[in-house]
């Protein structure tokens, strides 16, 4: 059997398309196994039948994967790990984070890497693109060998852990390793900072920990400090008593610029580690240095007794991997942004559109709202390329992106779907309002004078197709398909107009021979969108 992995899924979430596609491109086959009680029981029966008949079990997988969503129940995670150990003993279990967006587009934090490893996961992949490298390391070092970080980012462990104080208790040493390992592959600086502060609370006592970043590139003297994460361990302790691990990472408080201590400003200005007393508080400030550059400052405050030299030595050692993680977060975040951005127009691409639309339709199902999609295609755009060249055509597409962006809300999403086609997703929008938005954009395009980078003053029009969930479609893929079909109807109606998809019920009533939509499409699982 070819190289393969087992992907454990539950009854609530369909497998992420990006995860399966990343493995496919790496030449790894994905076998999906459900974690529902019925499916697990059926799998157990099959396993026992094979053992009783003496048949040869299939080749062991490279790893068992399990997607971890924000707010995942630790009981369910334990069940997934137990399931993997039962059927594939000795096979490493990898947690694959599945990032979700909140109601206003904010990333929802989940369990940190150290917690996931304590639960029994061998490695954690924050992005689907990291899986091939992790599997390669597993193949090279075996199921129990040491995993090394891929070369895509600078390791955050070498310089920090090597300089840890020689005399440390086993629990503190373990906590230090957990802190550093939890920082791997975090693609957001605020998340990395919050995870670092959460880990620090187990190593050194303070009334409040804060991480600042230098907010100005002109040099240390002109730089200002901007707080990106702050944590009061008292709040963390309350969250732990509630047995709500998500609260641990969400316990930070906002700290406005200008509230930093003098010690923090001195550390940020290149004066090294500063320990002093200010306004009745004992303060320590450690510069976060990556390479030869000061990225920010780690600040600790407490009212009782000064920070000891042993604590300073520990904090200085951990400041190195924390700084490295903050620097890596920028690179990882930028790589992720580029992977979801169209190179020409700088709009989102189809990859981003897939996940955004999937999340919005899930939210619409949960709250009983609507999601609309506008599919627009420029009319006779080929004439621009033929008459003025493809460079002029590229400039027109960039101008078109600006026209569309100026006509939608911040909560909407627009993606270049391909060529001169664009898709606009309007969350919390019914079909009537979507039609109004389409007509407004259509008219704005018609009136706009496109200079194509040469002051050509070209006039263009566009044809629009409009569809909405759940009125016209039952899944993300179906929604785009309906809007696309409506767009072609607009093309057939002399172009430069807006057409709407027929209601879902009216199409269900038509037999397939009369142009009705097959039931298999209407019942398509939203998790298989765009597959």
281 has a pLDDT exceeding 90:
yes
Question: Using 50, 70 and 90 to split pLDDT, how confident is the model at 49?
Answer: low
Q: Is residue 439 located within the same domain as residue 316?
A: no
The SS3 of residue 426 is: strand
Using alpha carbons only, what angle is made at residue 281 by residues 279 and 284, rounded to the nearest 5 degrees? Answer: 120
Q: Is residue 263 located within the same domain as residue 365?
A: no
Q: Could you tell me the residue range of the domain that residue 217 belongs to?
A: 173-234+254-335
First CA to last CA distance, the chain: 24
- Whole-number Å distance between alpha carbons of 88 and 64: 8
| Tokens, residue 135 | 């599997």
478 Rama class: left (phi>0) / alpha (psi -120 to 50) / beta: alpha
Q: Tell me the mean pLDDT in the region 299-326.
A: 89
Q: Is residue 269 located within the same domain as residue 208?
A: yes
Length of the chain: 531
* Sign of torsion over alpha carbons 176, 182, 188, 190: negative
| Helix ranges, 189-340 (H) | 189-200, 233-241, 245-249, 262-268, 309-339
Compute how many other C-beta atoms are within 10 angstroms of the C-beta atom of residue 507: 19
Residue 13 lies inside a defined structural domain of this protein:
yes
Q: Is residue 190 located within the same domain as residue 52?
A: no
pLDDT of residue 175: 76
Contacts of 173 (CB under 8 A, 6+ apart): 164
Q: How many domains does the chain have?
A: 3
Q: Tell me the mean pLDDT in the region 299-317.
A: 90
Residue 315 lies inside a defined structural domain of this protein:
yes
Q: Is residue 319 located within the same domain as residue 186?
A: yes
Q: Tell me the mean pLDDT in the region 69-87.
A: 80
Q: Is residue 203 located within the same domain as residue 283?
A: yes
Mark 293-304 as b/e (b = at least 16 C-beta within 10 Å): ebbbbbbbbbee
Q: Is residue 357 located within the same domain as residue 310?
A: no
Residue 520 lies inside a defined structural domain of this protein:
no
Residue 149 lies inside a defined structural domain of this protein:
no
Closest to 299 measured CA to CA, from 321, 266, 254: 266
Q: Is residue 297 located within the same domain as residue 373?
A: no
Residue 509 lies inside a defined structural domain of this protein:
no
- Whole-number Å distance between alpha carbons of 31 and 8: 9
What kind and span of H or E run contains 133? helix 131-141
What is the tens place of the pLDDT at every residue in 222-260? 568 889 999 987 654 444 434 444 444 444 455 555 688
Q: Is residue 220 located within the same domain as residue 307?
A: yes
Q: Tell me the mean pLDDT in the region 397-409.
A: 94
The SS3 of residue 203 is: coil
Q: Tell me the mean pLDDT in the region 489-493.
A: 95
Q: Is residue 121 located within the same domain as residue 9?
A: yes
156 has a pLDDT exceeding 50:
no
What kind and span of H or E run contains 275? strand 274-278
Pick the catalytic residue: 188, 191, 420, 484? Answer: 420
Final residue belonging to a domain, choices 292, 312, 335: 335
What is the tens place of the pLDDT at every residue in 163-210? 566 666 677 777 777 777 777 767 788 888 888 898 888 888 899 999
Task: Give the bridge partners for 7, in sequence order.
Answer: 32, 65
CA 80 to chain centre: 22
Q: Which of 50-54, 189-193, 280-284, 325-329 has the highest mean pLDDT?
A: 280-284
Task: Let me know: does 400 contact 342? Beta carbons within 8 Å.
Answer: no
Q: For position 487, which CATH number holds?
A: 3.30.70.270
| Helix ranges, 183-243 (H) | 189-200, 233-241
Question: Does the active-site annotation cover 420?
Answer: yes
């Amino acid at each position: 059997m070819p190289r393969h992995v087992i992907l454990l899924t539950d009854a609530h979430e369909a497998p992420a398309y990006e995860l399966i596609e990343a493995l496919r491109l790496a030449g790894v086959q994905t076998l999906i196994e459900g974690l529902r009680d019925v499916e697990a029981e059926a799998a157990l029966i099959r396993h026992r039948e094979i053992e009783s008949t003496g048949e040869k079990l299939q080749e062991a997988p490279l790893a068992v994967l399990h997607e971890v969503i924000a707010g995942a129940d630790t009981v369910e995670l334990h069940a997934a790990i137990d399931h993997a150990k039962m059927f594939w003993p000795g096979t490493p279990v990898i947690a694959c984070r599945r990032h979700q967006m909140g109601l206003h587009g904010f990333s929802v934090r989940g369990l940190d890497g150290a917690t996931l490893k304590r639960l029994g996961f061998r490695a954690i992949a924050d992005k689907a693109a990291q899986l091939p490298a992790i599997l390669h390391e597993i193949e090279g070092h075996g199921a129990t060998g040491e995993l090394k970080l891929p070369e895509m980012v600078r390791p955050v462990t070498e310089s920090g852990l090597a300089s840890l104080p020689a005399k440390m208790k086993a629990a503190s040493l373990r906590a230090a390793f957990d802190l550093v390992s939890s920082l791997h592959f975090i693609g957001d600086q605020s998340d990395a900072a919050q995870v670092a502060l959460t880990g620090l609370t187990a190593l050194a006592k303070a009334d409040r920990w804060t991480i600042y970043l230098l907010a100005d590139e002109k040099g240390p003297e002109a730089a200002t400090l901007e707080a990106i994460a702050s944590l009061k361990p008292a709040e963390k302790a309350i969250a732990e008593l509630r047995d709500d691990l998500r609260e641990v990472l969400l316990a930070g408080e906002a700290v406005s610029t200008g509230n930093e201590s003098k010690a923090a400003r001195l550390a940020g200005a290149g004066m090294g580690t500063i320990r002093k007393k200010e306004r009745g508080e004992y303060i320590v400030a450690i510069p976060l240095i990556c390479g030869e550059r000061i990225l920010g400052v780690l600040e600790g405050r407490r009212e009782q007794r000064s920070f000891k030299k042993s604590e300073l030595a520990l904090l200085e050692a951990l400041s190195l991997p924390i700084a490295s993680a903050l620097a890596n977060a920028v690179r990882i975040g930028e790589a992720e942004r580029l992977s979801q951005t169209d190179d020409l127009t700088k709009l989102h691409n189809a990859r981003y559109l897939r996940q955004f639309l999937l999340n919005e339709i899930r939210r619409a199902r949960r709250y009983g709202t609507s999601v609309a999609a506008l599919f627009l295609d420029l009319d006779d755009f080929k004439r621009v390329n033929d008459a003025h060249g493809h460079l002029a055509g590229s400039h027109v597409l960039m101008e078109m992106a600006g026209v569309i962006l100026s006509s939608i809300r911040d909560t909407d999403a627009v993606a270049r779907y391909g060529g001169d086609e664009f898709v606009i997703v309007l969350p919390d929008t019914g079909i009537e309002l979507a039609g109004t938005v389409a007509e407004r954009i259509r008219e704005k395009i018609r009136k706009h004078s496109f200079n194509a980078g040469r002051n050509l003053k070209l006039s263009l029009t566009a044809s629009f197709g409009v569809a909405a969930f759940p009125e016209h479609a039952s899944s993300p893929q179906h929604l785009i398909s309906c809007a696309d079909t409506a767009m072609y109807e607009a093309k057939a109606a002399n172009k430069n107009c807006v057409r709407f998809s027929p209601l879902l019920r009216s199409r269900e009533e038509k037999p397939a021979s009369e142009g009705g939509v097959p039931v298999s499409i209407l019942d398509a699982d939203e998790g298989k969108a765009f597959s």
